[in-house]
């Protein structure tokens, strides 16, 4: 097997299956479909496409299978990648796609985040400490002008980013453009560098055209529900626009929450959106309303930020039910290169969204990063 491969790592729950035969069945079934019955000439013709079982490690209850797949089978098409390494085999019981080990040749096919952590810090002139982001709560039923006023309160307070809620959908794209206009006016009025992540929705044949239109009208960040719309569209967005992309994990629970099937959290919310081009990736924090196991969230963070050859790191955004009282703990666990995502806690403050934002600002300003971060 040449180096022109990626390695898929599977976790298989033991249930009496012959694990060596099962691993070989994956390698054949997900590539050539058959092998033993083929003639010599045909074998030679298609041999470069067949996958190879690299290793099998067994523990008491599970087996870890590593299989190398030729890059030629899928190229840079992430939809084709997932189909090739986990397509029909995902319908088999008790097998989870745990990880993908990327080769240099494969990573060279991707651009990764446009700005990443360092580029975003330079853009907003913030050299250290975590970034703060607010979310429009509520959002549905409000006018562009009302949302613009909400943006102004957060920009005036000093938040680094404000994003749409992922459920904010406009049947008329002109409404989206009007909301962008109002938020940009609010940004100018506040004399801030606050980034506005505007939600991009639409039919598949409209998405890229709308992204281009948003950029032309002054947008500097797009919020995109990449699991619902698909990784290939996220990758296409990265190639189409020159602004940052924020990846939202809506619908990901249906694909990664089972211990027996689906993709691992670190793969679906870490490695894949990063190579596809997301500058920010949201995922549940260990503390709030959708608290995930801390080890899982740290694995996601590591996939988003660890050295990955030519691919820049993405901003980890631990989210869901985050309160100002959690800021120190979040930084203790995740360090300063994160975005603290403050939603409901800002807008439910008894004195309004401006004061809610200022509570988070105060907590971040009080941080002494070097003394706070766990070694």
Look up tokens 């409901």; give the residue: 344
How wide is the angle at C-alpha 224 spanned by C-alphas 161 and 196, nearest 5°?
20
CA distance 322 to 100: 31
Nearest to 73, CA basis, from 55, 62, 85, 65: 85
Residue partners of 298: CB distance under 8 A and separation at least 6: 333, 334
88 part of the active site? yes
Residues 6+ apart with CB under 8 A from 263: 86, 96, 97, 255, 256, 272
How many residues appear in the chain? 375
- Residue in the block written with tokens 């995502």: 341
Of the candidates 299, 314, 224, 207, which has an alpha carbon nearest to the alpha carbon of residue 256?
299
Contact in structure between 68 and 51 (CB atoms under 8 Å): yes
Exactly one of 88, 209, 239, 362 is catalytic; which is it? 88
SS3 of 252, please?
coil
CB 50 within 8 A of CB 28: yes
Q: Which residues are catalytic?
A: 88
């Amino acid at each position: 097997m040449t180096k022109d491969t990626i390695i898929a790592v599977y976790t298989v729950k033991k249930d009496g299956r012959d694990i060596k035969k099962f691993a070989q069945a994956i390698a054949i079934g997900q590539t050539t479909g058959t092998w033993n019955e083929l003639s010599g000439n045909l074998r030679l013709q298609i041999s470069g496409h067949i996958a190879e079982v690299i290793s099998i490690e067994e523990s008491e209850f599970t087996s870890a299978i590593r299989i190398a797949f030729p890059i030629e089978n899928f190229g840079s098409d992430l939809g084709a990648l997932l189909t090739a390494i986990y397509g029909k085999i995902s319908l088999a019981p008790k097998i989870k796609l745990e990880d993908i080990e990327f080769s240099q040749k494969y990573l060279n096919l991707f651009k990764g985040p446009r700005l990443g952590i360092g580029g975003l810090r330079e853009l907003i002139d913030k050299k250290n400490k975590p970034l703060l982001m607010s979310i429009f709560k509520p959002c549905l039923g409000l006018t562009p002008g009302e949302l613009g006023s909400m943006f102004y309160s957060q920009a005036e307070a000093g938040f680094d980013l404000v994003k749409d809620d992922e459920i904010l959908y406009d049947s008329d794209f002109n409404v989206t453009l009007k909301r962008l206009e109002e938020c940009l006016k609010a940004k100018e009025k506040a004399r801030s560098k606050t980034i506005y992540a505007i939600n991009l929705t639409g039919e598949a044949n409209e998405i890229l055209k709308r992204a281009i239109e948003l950029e032309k009208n002054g947008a500097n960040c797009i919020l995109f529900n990449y699991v619902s719309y698909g990784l290939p569209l996220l990758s296409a967005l990265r190639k189409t626009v020159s602004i940052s992309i924020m990846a939202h994990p809506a619908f990901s629970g249906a694909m990664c929450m089972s211990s027996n099937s689906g993709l691992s959290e670190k793969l679906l919310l870490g490695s894949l959106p990063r190579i596809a081009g997301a500058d920010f990736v949201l995922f549940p924090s260990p503390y709030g309303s959708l608290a995930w196991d801390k080890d899982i969230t740290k694995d996601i963070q590591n996939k988003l930020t660890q050295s990955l050859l030519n691919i820049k790191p993405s901003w980890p955004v631990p989210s869901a039910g985050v309160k100002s009282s959690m800021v120190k703990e979040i930084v203790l666990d995740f360090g300063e290169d994160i975005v603290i995502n403050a939603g409901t806690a800002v807008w439910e403050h008894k004195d309004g969204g401006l004061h809610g934002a200022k509570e988070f600002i105060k907590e971040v300003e009080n941080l002494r990063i070097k003394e706070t971060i766990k070694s």
